[in-house]
Structure 1
Amino acid sequence: MRQKIYFKTFGCRTNIYDTELIKSYIKDYDIVNDENLADVIVINSCTVTNSADSGTRAYINSVKKRGAKVILTGCGAVSKGKEFYEKSSIFGVLGASEKSKINELIAKNERFFELGDLKSIDKNIVTNYENHTKAFIKIQEGCDFKCSYCIIPSVRGASRSMSQSAILNEAKILATNGYNELVLTGTNIGSYGKDSGSSLGKLLQNLGKISGIKRIRLGSIEPSQIDDSFREILAESWLEKHLHIALQHTSQRMLNIMRRRNQAFKDLELFSELRALGFALGTDFIVGHPGESDDIWQEALSNFMKFPLTHLHAFVYSPRRDTHSATLKSDVSGDVAKQRLKTIKQIVAKNNYEFRVQNKKTLSVLVEQIKDGFYHGFDQYYNPVKIQTKKDILKEWVNIDKYEVKNEANFAKI
Structure 2
Amino acid sequence: MKKVYFKTFGCRTNQFDTQVMMSRLGEYELARNEEEADVIVVNSCTVTNGADSGVRGYINQVGRINGEAKVLLTGCGAHTKGESLFESGKVHGVFGHSEKEKITKFLEKSDRFYEIGDLEHVDTTVVEQFVGKSRAFIKIQEGCDFRCSYCIIPYVRGDARSLDETLILEQIRRLAANGFGEFILTGTNVGSYGKERGSSIAKLLKRMSQIRGVRRIRIGSLEPIQITDEFKELLDEPWMAKHLHIALQHTSDEMLKLMNRRNDFMSDLKLFEELASHGYALGTDFIVGHPGEGEDQWQEAIERVKMLPLTHIHAFSYSKRDGTPSAVMKPQVPGNIAKIRHRELTQIVKAKNFAFRRSLNEPLEILIESKKDGRYFGLDQYFNKISIESGRDLKGEWLYLEKFEAAEEMNRGSF
Q: What interval of TM-score do these two structures reach, taking the shorter chain for normalisation?
A: over 0.9
Corresponding residue number in structure 2 for 1:40: 39
TM-score, normalised by the number of residues in structure 2: 0.98
> Secondary structure of the residue that 1:298 maps to in structure 2?
helix
Corresponding residue number in structure 1 for 2:396: 395
Describe the superposition over 1:100-126 as per-residue Cα deviations: whole angstroms up to 9, x where unpaired: 222122313111111000100001111
Which residue type is aligned with residue 29 of structure 2?
A: D
The CA distance in 2 between the partners of 1:306 and 1:50, in whole Å, is 33
1:222 partnered with 2:223 = yes
1:338 Cα offset (Å): 0.7
1:197 partnered with 2:192 = no
Corresponding residue number in structure 2 for 1:28: 27
> Secondary structure of the residue that 2:309 maps to in structure 1?
coil
Checking the alignment, whether the CA contact within 8 Å between 2:248 and 2:286 is kept in structure 1 is yes
1:92 Cα offset (Å): 0.7
Checking the alignment, whether the CA contact within 8 Å between 1:289 and 1:330 is kept in structure 2 is no
- The aligned runs of 1:97-246 (5 Å cut-off) are 97-246=98-247
1:317 Cα offset (Å): 0.6
The CA distance in 2 between the partners of 1:404 and 1:210, in whole Å, is 34
- The aligned runs of 1:8-407 (5 Å cut-off) are 8-65=7-64, 66-67=66-67, 68-407=69-408
Which residue type is aligned with residue 58 of structure 1?
A: G
1:406 Cα offset (Å): 0.8
Which residue type is aligned with residue 339 of structure 1?
A: I
1:255 Cα offset (Å): 0.3
The CA distance in 1 between the partners of 2:19 and 2:269, in whole Å, is 38
> Secondary structure of the residue that 1:234 maps to in structure 2?
coil
The CA distance in 2 between the partners of 1:55 and 1:372, in whole Å, is 30
The CA distance in 2 between the partners of 1:101 and 1:136, in whole Å, is 21
> Secondary structure of the residue that 1:98 maps to in structure 2?
helix
Corresponding residue number in structure 1 for 2:5: 6
Checking the alignment, whether the CA contact within 8 Å between 2:126 and 2:170 is kept in structure 1 is no
1:47 Cα offset (Å): 1.2
Checking the alignment, whether the CA contact within 8 Å between 1:136 and 1:185 is kept in structure 2 is yes
> Secondary structure of the residue that 2:213 maps to in structure 1?
coil
The CA distance in 2 between the partners of 1:245 and 1:384, in whole Å, is 19
The CA distance in 1 between the partners of 2:273 and 2:229, in whole Å, is 17
Which residue type is aligned with residue 348 of structure 1?
A: V
> Secondary structure of the residue that 1:305 maps to in structure 2?
helix
Checking the alignment, whether the CA contact within 8 Å between 2:242 and 2:281 is kept in structure 1 is yes
Count, aligned residues: 413
The CA distance in 1 between the partners of 2:292 and 2:128, in whole Å, is 46
Checking the alignment, whether the CA contact within 8 Å between 2:49 and 2:322 is kept in structure 1 is no
The CA distance in 2 between the partners of 1:366 and 1:301, in whole Å, is 34
Q: Unpaired runs of 5+ in structure 1?
A: none
1:34 Cα offset (Å): 2.1
TM-score, normalised by the number of residues in structure 1: 0.98
Describe the superposition over 1:144-195 as per-residue Cα deviations: whole angstroms up to 9, x where unpaired: 0000000100111000001111111111111111100011100000000111
The CA distance in 2 between the partners of 1:25 and 1:379, in whole Å, is 32
> Secondary structure of the residue that 1:266 maps to in structure 2?
helix
